[in-house]
Amino acid sequence: MSITKRPRRLRVNETIRGLIRETRLSLDTLVYPLFVVEGENIKKEITSLKGNYHLSVDRLEEEIKELVDLGIKSVILFGIPSEKDEKGCGAYHDHGIIQKAIRAIKSKFKDMYVITDVCMCEYTSHGHCGILTENGYVDNDKTLEYLGKIAVSHVEAGADMVAPSDMMDGRIGFIRNVLDKAGYVNIPIMAYSAKYASAFYGPFREAADSAPSFGDRKSYQMDPANVNEAIREVELDIEEGADIVMVKPALSYLDVIRKVKDNFNMPVAAYNVSGEYAMIRSCIDSGLLSEDAIMESLLSIKRAGADIIITYFAKDAAKMLRR
């Protein structure tokens, strides 16, 4: 007598579904991005990132308190300075916007884990991620010196981790060496290892006021068509001392996340970027999708192999996980 296979036995109710669930989201693994601006008493919704805000330093306390109450333990900071120049000097100034933000957060919330974006695009008048040559090409090795200064200034202000996003060759090794020489041997580096020249960054560039004033970033960010190149980039960053490697964006690059996880015994982060957020948020707000699409999209990133997810949906996820 043949026996009918009945996988549906394990789907009868939420209790049994929960018992055998293979992939789980945890607030411990979510990182929430924050955009900090100069000025006072500013909390202004970012048009392209509904539900996310430009915040002045004095409004950070209420924002961090909300995150703590929701159970979110980690943030990544992006700064929008009031003044920019060709060399992005505001990025490493002791009283720069990010440096002030770190100190403000740590003075009130010592346990909030503060990661900082180490890059120059928000601070340069031209919007590129480094020092330009006369013909407009980003000078790789000159840029490294500035990235090292930025990383040290963030750590001196109290950052728990630095995350270089510039995609310059050799920057992880350079920053590791600079941090170690400054006595910060225990500060980890989360490398934007496979950062693609993606069309999904549009809302972020408005939020961070970081769109390049000419050209594009294809000479330093990766070609979206390439997977094996991502593996080479990740391997180089690991060799140079990266503690965590990242794939950015996430949803259109799930195959890359999976391949990185399969090839390296390393913590893998994925950045659920602004364009991905804006698409799903827009569909939810218009009624085309239910809010369940948020958790489904985050689960897909987790299922692909990401240990850490940087996402503008962190607050939504925290509320949904409590239900």
CB 210 within 8 Å of CB 240: no
Say if residue 312 carries a ligand binding annotation: yes
Amino acid making up residue 31: V
For the beta carbon of residue 280, count every other beta carbon within 10 angstroms.
22
Q: Active-site residue 195, yes or no?
A: yes
Catalytic residue among 84, 87, 149, 195: 195
Alpha helices in the chain (DSSP H): 14-19, 60-70, 97-108, 140-157, 171-181, 202-207, 228-240, 254-263, 274-285, 292-304, 314-321
Say if residue 239 carries a ligand binding annotation: no
Say if residue 121 carries a ligand binding annotation: yes
Catalytic residue among 84, 87, 100, 248: 248
Say if residue 277 carries a ligand binding annotation: no
SS (H, E, C) 223-275: CCCCCHHHHHHHHHHHHHCCCEEEEECCHHHHHHHHHHHHHCCCCEEEEECHH
Say if residue 89 carries a ligand binding annotation: no
Q: Which residues are annotated as a binding site for Mg(2+)?
A: 233
**Residue list for the binding site for Zn(2+):** 119, 121, 129
Q: What residues are annotated to the active site?
A: 195, 248
- Binding residues for 5-aminolevulinate, as ranges, are 205, 217, 274, 312
Binding residues: 119, 121, 129, 205, 217, 233, 274, 312
